[in-house]
Every structure is written in C-alpha cells, then in structure tokens.
Amino acid sequence: MQPPTEIQPSTASRWIASLRSTATLLGPSARFLTTTAAHTYAYSVAANLVLAFYPFVLLLLWLAHHALQARAVLVVYQLVRVYLPTGQALFATDLYALSHARGAQVFSFLMLAITSSGVFLPLEVALNEIWGFKQNRGYLANQLVSLGLVGACGGLLYTAVQLAFMVHPSLWGRILDSQTWTWDQAVVVNLFSWPALIVCYFLVYWLLPHGKVPAAQVFPAAIYTGTLTEIFKVVFRLVLPLLDFPAVYGRLTLAVTLIIWGYCLALLLLFGASLSQRGVVHLPRFGRRSGVGAGA
C-alpha cells in the first residue's frame, strides 16, 4: 500500500512542473500577440493577402493551362478548395471568368508583385523585430524576396494537392462541388497539405528576416505552426456558420471572411516566429530534463 501513495504525488508534481514550464515557454510569445505592433502587422498582412490571393491563383491557372498538363487546371481549382475557408464555388466562378479576360494575366502579375510585397514587407519588419535585427531590406530587395517566396510556397502547395489527388484518384471528380469529402479523402488531402505548410513556414522564418537565422532553430517552430494551422483550418470552418457574417456584411461576406482568416494566420505565424527565437527547438527535450532532475 505504501508505493502508490509515494508515486501519485510524484506524478502529479511532474505534471504541474511540466505545465509551469510550458506556460513559461509560451507565455512571452503569447504576450507578444497582445501588443499593438503584432496586431498592426497582422491586419496589414490580412488586407494584402486578400488582394494578392486572386492574382496569385489566376496566374497559377494561366500557367497550368498553357504550360502544364490538362489536369493541372483541375489541381488549381482543388487548391482553392483545400486552402480557402469558404466561398470556393464563387471564387471558382470568378476565376473562370477572369481567366478568359484579355490582359488579365499581365495585370495579375503586376498586382501580385505589388501585393506580395505588401504581405511580406510587414512580416519582415515583424520578424526582424522578433529576432532583434535593426535594419530592414530596401523595398526592391523585399520585392525580390517576396516574389521568390510566393513562387516557392505556391509550388509547394500545388505539388501537395497534385500528390494527394494522385494517391486518391476519386478526388478528381469533385471539383468544388457542394458535397464534403469523405473521411478518407480528407485524411489524404490533409496528409499532404500539412508538410507543405510546414516547409512554407520554414522558408518564411528562415529567409525573410534580414539577418542570419539558424535553420535548425526555426524548423521545429515551422512544424508547430503548420500543425496549428491545420487545426485552425478545421476549427475556423466549424465556427464560421455560427458567426453569421452574411447577416452583417451581406455581399462583402467573402472579403470579410478572408480578411479575418488571413489575420488569424498572420498571428499564428508571428507566434511561431517568437517561439523559434526563444528556443522552442528545446521543447521536445523538456521531458528528459525533468526526468534527469527528478532522478538526481
């Protein structure tokens, strides 16, 4: 009877110590999200993300139609379905109409060049502040880095969707229809989109700050942020009907939804960046430290 009475308090104390250490690790990063600077960056990113998303997908559609195989066009439409939180059918209709408009591709490229810098410029300033880098890139240098990140991330997300549909061919017949995916289809899609998001976050954390950032330190943060993003996608879609945006915003519902969606994603990105700067790479070894201390 004596051993259980001794083990239970020890187990409880380890759990309490674990929770305290986790709160110590996450607390400063969470407090950073309560600053006015973090919300200023997030709002700027969200607004420019909405402006950049249309021309980005339109250029992908044009490239798929003229330079890739015929099924690549279907992949672009499924890309919208996988990553857009709502309004996929309306967005696809607009894409189809715009893709046949003369000069739309040239205008899309110009808009993408401007708005992509609008997305990544405030993110660079925020990441430089987090890492303590005093100097930001010039506008043209940020423009080049932004376009490079847009191309790299777009290619990764496109490849992820392509691979998912190669593994589960039944998805080809469900191009933005009103039906939801079956559980196995959803698992396959998220199984490929999750690592693509992780690599995208890693590239942003590693390449966007104007200073040397250790790749080994930011990669775990990219894993955590990518995982949180996948969870956020599910939760956001479940909560969205409860918010009843159409009753307040009417025809502006889609734009407002995308702004809030981008705003939350920007905060998640900043949260992960703060964790990486504070040494979140040591988080998986946290349990071993506790065990060593307990054994000593």
117-131, pLDDT tens digit by residue?
A: 788 889 999 999 999
Other Cβ atoms closer than 10 A to 233: 20
DSSP, collapsed to helix, strand or coil, labels residue 100 as coil
Residue 23 lies in a domain: no
- CA torsion 55-56-58-63 (nearest 10°) is 140
Q: Please state, in angstroms and rounded to a whole number, the distance separating the CA atoms of residues 130 and 29.
A: 10
Domain-embedded: residue 219: yes
Please state the rounded mean pLDDT for residues 212-236.
89
Domain that holds residue 231: 35-284
* DSSP one-letter code for 211: S
pLDDT, tens digit, 9 for 90 and up, residues 237-275: 889 889 888 888 888 888 889 899 999 999 999 999 998
Tokens representing 169 are: 């061919």
Would you say the C-alpha torsion 232, 278, 132, 138 has a positive or negative sign?
Answer: negative
> Is 11 part of any domain?
no
Residue 296 is assigned to a structural domain of this protein: no
**pLDDT, tens digit, 9 for 90 and up, residues 146-157:** 889 988 988 888
Give a yes or no: residue 4 inside a domain: no
The answer to whether residue 47 is domain-embedded is yes
- Does 56 map to a domain? yes
Higher pLDDT, 66 or 53: 53
User: Does residue 272 belong to any structural domain of this protein?
Assistant: yes
C-alpha to C-alpha distances, 34 to 28, 30, 42, 218, nearest whole angstrom: 10, 7, 12, 22
Number of domains present in the structure of the chain: 1
Confidence category of residue 184, pLDDT binned at 50, 70, 90: low
Neighbours of 90 (CB within 10 A): 13
Q: Note the pTM of the prediction, 2 decimals.
A: 0.78
Q: What letters, b where the CB count within 10 A reaches 16 and e where it falls short, cover 108-124?
A: bbebbbebbbbbbbbbb
